[in-house]
Structure 1
Amino acid sequence: MANTYYFNKKSTNHYTVAFYNLENLFDTKDDPHTLDEDFLPDSEKQWNRSRYEKKIFKLGTAISNIGFSKTRKAPILVGVAEVENKSVLEDLVNSKHLKGKNYGIVHYDSPDERGIDVGLLYQKQYFEVTNSESVQVLVDNENGMRDYTRDILWITGNLNNEQIHVLINHWPSRRDGAETTAYKRIVAAERNREIIDQITAEDPNAKIIIMGDFNDDPSSQSVKNHLVQHDLFNPMEQLLTRYSGSTNYRNQWNLFDQIIFSHNFHKYEKGKHSFSDAAIFDDDFLKIYKGRYKGNPFRTYIGRKYIGGYSDHFPVYIKLRLN
């Protein structure tokens, strides 16, 4: 139930920063350079224009609602994963519920074999991008060959005139087993640490937000021991329970989607942002409402079967207060 206090206010000094894995947001065109054959009109999944437009509309609806009941505005920063290219993000920001928000896009094509990338949507009236780059994560597979995974997107910008750094991630998957592939996510965690060290070497007081689909939980070695050290805080640690998470596999909840930040977001300083709270955005409309998967994220496909939902992940978010 939304807090009435916020509902009566037109706007607040709270801002939502979100992350959302969009679950295979592919266009319907064949890209000869990537493995996108599953998401074409003549594929087994029959990924056609009408299904694509329905998904774009639904994702736009979901994003516009993240944190809205408290802040009275759509999220000002949204990190996204599993997008095929920049054009799908352009379609998304021009969809019915987002087009009035004046979202900018930061996106680079990364070397992932399936052609899926990460990106950032940002409301231009609140955030100004001053620099962005794509940082490679070099990891080998079990046979010593390079495993082409997603780059880290590093954005520097001014949020309501305060400089912040944002790192957006989508770490290597668990497809071949969580333990077998754990070393790959440790490599990705250490690559983030290298960027963080580079940032703080230049500015020891830099404010940093790291977000993404880590394919690991807050308690996993990659996150807890290799990424989150003395200088970072992970508010997501408290959110994973037996009954809730951001994604569900074989009736077990995981919280692979996380937003982590530097401790200076706990500090109160006039004109600066401080951390308010963190949550999983799992409103009922994002859930499967009946049957054996009841309560799970309402996804686009279950296997090859089209069910026409949003994503197999719930978005996660933090609220920042401008003091």
Structure 2
Amino acid sequence: MVDALDGIVGSGVPVVSVAPVELSAPGRPAPLQVRVSAPAVGANLPIVLFSHGNGWHLDGYAPLTAFWASRRFVVIQPTHLDSRRNGFGFDHPVFPTIWTERITDLKRILDQLDTIEAAVPGLAGRVDRSRVAATGHSWGGQTAQSLLGARVLDRDGEVGEDFSDSRVTAGILFAATGMGGEHLHPFAKANFPFMYPSFKELTAPTLVVAGDHDQSKMSSRGPDWFTDAYTYSPGATDLVTFHGAEHSLGGIVGYEVAETTDESPERVAVIQRLSTAYLRTALHVDEGSWKAARAAFSDDTDPIGRIDSK
């Protein structure tokens, strides 16, 4: 299957990656630093924002971000305040505001693209700022989906603030948590108010990626919890579910790290290529990439997952 998908997304090109790039963030309790990875060649390059999962940082997720950059996307990864590098634990006064600060981080990036382009040798003038996707894993999925239109319900069930950004036109959610409710464990209810999403406002084209063995420690619901964005939003029109995949989906965070409990280089290779094909279509690089990749995945004689579309 990987060979067939390679024929759709093409071969890679050399990548230049620069970190840390510090951005202006007045009032933020720690500096905002990002990694910028870009192809060494090419013009009119679309932008992909990537928001990491809880505790991670700009040096994680290379299996995804480096691959996308090699396929001619400019990939920008912030280190959010919840990173273990910052040391703001659950009991820190900053912690309750981190979920909204994460969203602000992504907007700060889009506000400072001049600084970002100037930080990477040879990148200035090669970026297409009209084509931007927001992507993220786990908590990062919630961060990304907020820019795509998803909202958060307050304690009374009322829809909260609109954090969407018109500069972001598509997205990918990797193992993003689903709807809130009584199934949430007490710790999640106490510490993660964003786990009460409303997906009906998420209208931007979005791909949802989940594992059918992903049992969250935050919820008593099964792995289908991580497919709620697809089930309940009008924008999430495609869902990829991988057989046997747990929360790291085989190693998108990185190989040989504690979070990768289900290491599978084959699964990661397929995710790399499927996600690239989706981005190519959603950001109008190649309108046929996603359709072709979906067909190649579905026609495989030894499927490692399934694709649903609506």
Report the TM-score when normalising by structure 1: 0.34
The structure with the largest helix share of the pair is: 2
**Bigger relative CO (Cα 8 Å, ≥ 6 apart):** 1
Report the TM-score when normalising by structure 2: 0.35
The structure with the largest strand share of the pair is: 1
